[in-house]
Amino acid sequence: MIITETKLKGSYVIDLERFGDERGFFATNWSLKKLTDPEFGRMVESNLSTSVRKGTMRGMHFQRAPHAQAKIVRCTRGSVYDVIIDLRPASPTFKQWVGVELSAENRRTLCVPREFAHGIQTLEDDTEIFYLVSDFYAPETSGGVRWDDPAFGIVWPHVEERIIIPRDRDYPDFKL
C-alpha cells in the first residue's frame, strides 16, 4: 500500500503496491497495520452503489454525530470523480475540498474521515462503487450539501448531462 495524505488532514488516497509475476499481481488493498489512523479501524458495514449512466451525481452526503461515518471507498467497475469536503469547523481546511479519480483500472482507494461530505460523479456508464463505513446508516442524522454550492467552489469534470436526484440538487446554500 502506498498511502498519501491529501491536503485535508486525516483523509488519504491509497494506491496499490503490486507484486507481480506471470500469473498477474498481488497487492494489499487495506491494512490497519499500515494505515494506523484509528478513524478507519472499525468498519461495520459494506455498501455497493451502481450507476447506469455517465454523469450521474451522488452526494454530497454525510451523517452527523452520534452516527458520523468514516468511509473507505473504491471504484470496482468504471470510473468516478470522487469529492470530499472538510466540514469540521475547527479544522484549518474547513470548507476545502479534494477530488480524486477512482477507477477499476487505477484501483485507488479513498479514505474519508467523519465530518466530511462525500460525493461522486460517474465518468463512465455502468460504474460501481464499493465502500466500507464506520457506523450504520441513520436517516435521522443524514444530511448533505449541494454539489455546486458556491461556498465550496468544487470544479467537477465536464459531462454532457448530469443526472441528479432532487434531494441532492436542492440542498440550500451552506451555512454554519
Catalytic-labelled residue, pool 12, 61, 81, 118: 61
**Residue 37: per-residue pLDDT:** 83
Question: Per the residue annotation, which of 12, 81, 118, 131 is the catalytic one?
Answer: 131
The answer to whether 131 is a known catalytic residue is yes
**Domain segments of the chain as ranges:** 38-169
Answer whether 121's CB lies under 8 Å from 150's CB.
no
pLDDT confidence of residue 39: 83
pLDDT of residue 30: 80
- Give residue 66's pLDDT: 96
One-letter amino acid identity for 85?
I
pLDDT for residue 40 = 85
| CB contact at 8 A, 35 and 1 | yes
Q: What is the pLDDT of residue 32?
A: 81
Q: Clarify whether 118 is annotated catalytic.
A: no
The CB density around residue 15, as the number of other CB atoms within 10 Å, is 14
In the chain (176 residues long), the average pLDDT of successive 10-residue segments reads 94 91 87 83 93 96 96 97 97 97 97 97 98 95 95 96 95 86
**Which residues face 71 on adjacent strands?**
112, 133
| Cα–Cα distance measured from residue 4 to residue 13, given in angstroms and rounded to the nearest whole number | 5
Domain 38-169 part of CATH 2.60.120.10: yes
* Those residues with Cβ within 8 angstroms of residue 142's Cβ, 6 or more apart along the chain or in another chain: 61, 62, 63, 64
